[in-house]
Amino acid sequence: MSKLLHPDRLFASCPQQRDIARALYHQVADLPIISPHGHTDPRWFAHNKAFGNATELLIQPDHYLLRMLFSQGISMEQLGISKASGQSSDADPAAVWQLFAENYSLFRGTPTRLWMDHVFSAVFGIDELLCASNSASFYAEINSQLARPEFLPRSLFERFNIEVIATTESPLDPLHAHQLLAADSWQGRVITAFRPDPVVDPEYENFPDNITELAQISGIDCSSYSGYLDALRERRAFFKSMGATSTDHGHPSATTADLPRAQCETLFAGALAGSLSAADAELFRGQMLLEMALMSLEDGLVMQLHPGVSRNHNPSLFAQYGRDKGADLPLPGEFVNALKPLLARVGNEADFTLILFTLDETTYARELAPLAGHYPCLRVGPAWWFHDSPEGMLRYRHQITETAGFYNTVGFNDDTRAFLSIPARHDVARRIDCRFLAQLVAEHRLTLPEAEQLAHDLAYQLAKDAYRL
Amino acid sequence: MSKLLHPDRLFASCPQQRDIARALYHQVADLPIISPHGHTDPRWFAHNKAFGNATELLIQPDHYLLRMLFSQGISMEQLGISKASGQSSDADPAAVWQLFAENYSLFRGTPTRLWMDHVFSAVFGIDELLCASNSASFYAEINSQLARPEFLPRSLFERFNIEVIATTESPLDPLHAHQLLAADSWQGRVITAFRPDPVVDPEYENFPDNITELAQISGIDCSSYSGYLDALRERRAFFKSMGATSTDHGHPSATTADLPRAQCETLFAGALAGSLSAADAELFRGQMLLEMALMSLEDGLVMQLHPGVSRNHNPSLFAQYGRDKGADLPLPGEFVNALKPLLARVGNEADFTLILFTLDETTYARELAPLAGHYPCLRVGPAWWFHDSPEGMLRYRHQITETAGFYNTVGFNDDTRAFLSIPARHDVARRIDCRFLAQLVAEHRLTLPEAEQLAHDLAYQLAKDAYRL
Amino acid sequence: MSKLLHPDRLFASCPQQRDIARALYHQVADLPIISPHGHTDPRWFAHNKAFGNATELLIQPDHYLLRMLFSQGISMEQLGISKASGQSSDADPAAVWQLFAENYSLFRGTPTRLWMDHVFSAVFGIDELLCASNSASFYAEINSQLARPEFLPRSLFERFNIEVIATTESPLDPLHAHQLLAADSWQGRVITAFRPDPVVDPEYENFPDNITELAQISGIDCSSYSGYLDALRERRAFFKSMGATSTDHGHPSATTADLPRAQCETLFAGALAGSLSAADAELFRGQMLLEMALMSLEDGLVMQLHPGVSRNHNPSLFAQYGRDKGADLPLPGEFVNALKPLLARVGNEADFTLILFTLDETTYARELAPLAGHYPCLRVGPAWWFHDSPEGMLRYRHQITETAGFYNTVGFNDDTRAFLSIPARHDVARRIDCRFLAQLVAEHRLTLPEAEQLAHDLAYQLAKDAYRL
pLDDT, tens only, B218-242: 999 999 999 999 999 999 999 999 9
Return the residue of C nearest to B404 by Cα.
C68
Crossing angle of helices C422-442 and C15-28, rounded to 10°: 130
For B349, list phi and psi in degrees, rounded to 5: -85, 110
Q: A445 and B326 in contact by Cβ < 8 A?
A: no
Residue A3 scores a pLDDT above 90 = no
Domain shared by B300 and B216, yes or no: yes
d(CA C337, CA C304): 18
d(CA B192, CA B244): 5
User: Which residues of chain C carry a pLDDT beneath 70?
Assistant: none
Domain shared by C172 and C203, yes or no: yes
Crossing angle of helices B225-241 and B278-299, rounded to 10°: 50
Neighbours of C94 (CB within 10 A): 16
d(CA C158, CA C398): 34
**pLDDT at site C440:** 98
The reply to whether C9 falls in a domain is: no
C109 and chain B in contact, CB less than 8 A: yes
What residues 356-415 of chain B have any CB closer than 8 A to a CB of chain C?
362, 365-367, 369-376, 378, 398-399, 401-408
The reply to whether B1 falls in a domain is: no
In the listed set C98, C124, C151, which residue is the last one of a domain according to the structure? C151
Q: C370 and A386 in contact by Cβ < 8 A?
A: yes
Check if the beta carbon of residue B410 is closer than 8 Å to that of residue B462.
yes
pLDDT, tens only, A301-318: 999 999 999 999 999 999
The reply to whether A3 falls in a domain is: no
Q: B14 and C14 in contact by Cβ < 8 A?
A: yes
In the listed set A95, A125, A151, which residue is the last one of a domain according to the structure? A151
Domain shared by C230 and C262, yes or no: yes
The reply to whether C198 falls in a domain is: yes
What CA–CA distances, in Å, run from B5 to A271, B2, C80, C408?
61, 5, 53, 47
Contacts of C114 (CB under 8 A, 6+ apart): B445, C9, C10, C390, C424, C428
d(CA A371, CA A302): 17
Instruction: Count the domains in chain A.
Output: 2
E-state strands within C278-401: 302-305, 309-310, 329-330, 354-356, 378-380
A131 and chain C in contact, CB less than 8 A: no
Residue A180 scores a pLDDT above 90 = yes
Return the residue of A nearest to B391 by Cα.
A398
Q: Domain holding A431: CATH number?
A: 3.20.20.140
The reply to whether C422 falls in a domain is: yes
Secondary structure class of B370 (helix, strand, coil): helix
pLDDT, tens only, A33-43: 999 999 999 99
Domain shared by A119 and A173, yes or no: no
Secondary structure class of C35 (helix, strand, coil): strand
pLDDT, tens only, B73-102: 999 999 999 999 989 888 999 999 999 999
B274 Rama class: left (phi>0) / alpha (psi -120 to 50) / beta: left
Which of A108, A327, A387 has the CB atom closest to C450's CB atom? A108
**pLDDT at site C1:** 76
* Shortest Cα distance, chain C CAs vs residue A163, angstroms: 29
pLDDT, tens only, A137-156: 999 999 999 999 999 999 99
ipTM of the complex: 0.97
What CA–CA distances, in Å, run from A195 to A201, A223, A250?
11, 21, 8
Which of B403, B407, B454, B458 to mutate to probe the C interface, most C CBs <10 Å? B403
Contacts of A32 (CB under 8 A, 6+ apart): A161, A162, A163, A460
Residue B2: pLDDT band (50, 70, 90) is confident
Q: Please, what is the Cα angle at C155 between C153 and C160, to 5 degrees?
A: 95
What residues 1-40 of chain A have any CB closer than 8 A to a CB of chain B?
14, 16-17
Which of A4, A14, A313 to mutate to probe the C interface, most C CBs <10 Å? A313
Residue A389 scores a pLDDT above 90 = yes
Return the residue of B nearest to C10 by Cα.
B443
**pLDDT at site A326:** 97
**Cα–Cα nearest to A70, from A417, A320, A317, A389:** A317
Which of B397, B445, B447, B457 to mutate to probe the C interface, most C CBs <10 Å? B445
A164 and chain B in contact, CB less than 8 A: no
Q: C386 and B369 in contact by Cβ < 8 A?
A: yes
Domain shared by A270 and A352, yes or no: yes
DSSP B147-207: TSGGGSHHHHHHHTTEEEEE--B-TT---HHHHHHHHSS----EE--B--HHHH-TTSTTH
DSSP B270-316: HHHHT---HHHHHHHHHHHHHHHHHHHHHH--EEEE---EE-S--HH
Over range B440-466, report the average pLDDT: 98
Domain shared by A434 and A422, yes or no: yes
A75 Rama class: left (phi>0) / alpha (psi -120 to 50) / beta: beta
Residues of A in contact with C404 (CB under 8 A): 71
Check if the beta carbon of residue B420 is closer than 8 Å to that of residue B123.
yes
- Residue C313 carries which DSSP code? -
Residue B359 scores a pLDDT above 80 = yes
d(CA C1, CA A348): 64
Domain shared by C167 and C263, yes or no: yes
The reply to whether B62 falls in a domain is: yes
**pLDDT at site C3:** 87
Residue B3: pLDDT band (50, 70, 90) is confident
Q: Domain holding C71: CATH number?
A: 1.10.2020.10
d(CA C116, CA C102): 14
**Cα–Cα nearest to A201, from A263, A326, A291, A261:** A291
What is the C-alpha radius of gyration for chain C, rounded to an integer number of angstroms? 22
* Shortest Cα distance, chain A CAs vs residue B115, angstroms: 11
Residue B365 scores a pLDDT above 80 = yes
CB-defined contacts B:C, below 8 A: 120
Three-state secondary structure readout of chain A: CCCCCCCCCCCCCCHHHHHHHHHHHHHHCCCCEEECCCCCCHHHHHHCCCCCCHHHHHHCCCHHHHHHHHHCCCCCCCCCCCCCCCCCCCCCHHHHHHHHHHCHHHHCCCHHHHHHHHHHHHHCCCCCCCCHHHHHHHHHHHHHHHCCHHHCHHHHHHHCCEEEEECCECCCCCCHHHHHHHHCCCCCCEECCECCHHHHCCCCCCHHHHHHHHHHHHCCCCCCHHHHHHHHHHHHHHHHHCCCCEEEECCCCCCCCCCCHHHHHHHHHHHHHCCCCHHHHHHHHHHHHHHHHHHHHHHCCEEEECCCEECCCCHHHHHHHCCCCCCCEECCCCCCCCCHHHHHHHCCCCCCCEEECCCCCHHHHHHHHHHHCCCCCEEECCCCHHHCCHHHHHHHHHHHHHHHCCCCECCCCCCCCCHHHHHHHHHHHHHHHHHHHHHHHHCCCCCHHHHHHHHHHHHHHHHHHHCCC
d(CA A89, CA A70): 16
Average pLDDT, chain B: 97
Domain shared by B93 and B125, yes or no: yes
Domain shared by B272 and B383, yes or no: yes
d(CA C142, CA C158): 19
Count CA atoms within 13 Å of residue C231 on its CB side.
24
pLDDT, tens only, B7-60: 999 999 999 999 999 999 999 999 999 999 999 999 999 999 999 999 999 999
For B49, list phi and psi in degrees, rounded to 5: -90, 155
**Cα–Cα nearest to C412, from C64, C37, C22:** C37
For chain C, list the contacting chains (3+ Cβ pairs, <8 Å).
A, B
d(CA B238, CA B10): 42
**pLDDT at site B67:** 98
Q: A114 and C445 in contact by Cβ < 8 A?
A: yes
Residues of B in contact with A370 (CB under 8 A): 329-330, 386
Edge-first strand order for the sheet with B378-380 is: B246-249, B302-305, B354-356, B378-380
d(CA C418, CA C272): 36
Residues of A in contact with C339 (CB under 8 A): none
Return the residue of B nearest to C107 by Cα.
B405
Domain shared by A83 and A103, yes or no: yes
What CA–CA distances, in Å, run from A102 to A74, A344, C373?
12, 54, 18
H/E stretch holding C165: strand C162-166
Q: C375 and A71 in contact by Cβ < 8 A?
A: yes
Q: Please, what is the Cα angle at B394 between B378 and B164, to 5 degrees?
A: 60
Domain shared by B164 and B283, yes or no: yes
Which of A347, A374, A445 has the CB atom closest to B114's CB atom? A445
* Shortest Cα distance, chain A CAs vs residue C331, angstroms: 15
d(CA C109, CA B95): 50
In the listed set A117, A132, A151, which residue is the last one of a domain according to the structure? A151
pLDDT, tens only, C33-64: 999 999 999 999 999 999 999 999 999 999 99
Q: B370 and C332 in contact by Cβ < 8 A?
A: no
Domain shared by C55 and C190, yes or no: no
d(CA B400, CA C109): 10
The reply to whether B306 falls in a domain is: yes
pLDDT, tens only, B413-430: 999 999 999 999 999 999
A348 and chain B in contact, CB less than 8 A: yes
**pLDDT at site A416:** 97
What residues 302-341 of chain B have any CB closer than 8 A to a CB of chain A?
310, 313-317, 326-327, 329-332
Check if the beta carbon of residue C112 is closer than 8 Å to that of residue C389.
no
- Residue C461 carries which DSSP code? I
d(CA C292, CA C228): 12
Structural domain boundaries enclosing C33: 15-49+152-466
Check if the beta carbon of residue A156 is closer than 8 Å to that of residue A420.
yes
pLDDT, tens only, B297-351: 999 999 999 999 999 999 999 999 999 999 999 999 999 999 999 999 999 998 9
Over range A372-378, report the average pLDDT: 98
The reply to whether A10 falls in a domain is: no
**pLDDT at site B47:** 98
**pLDDT at site C68:** 98
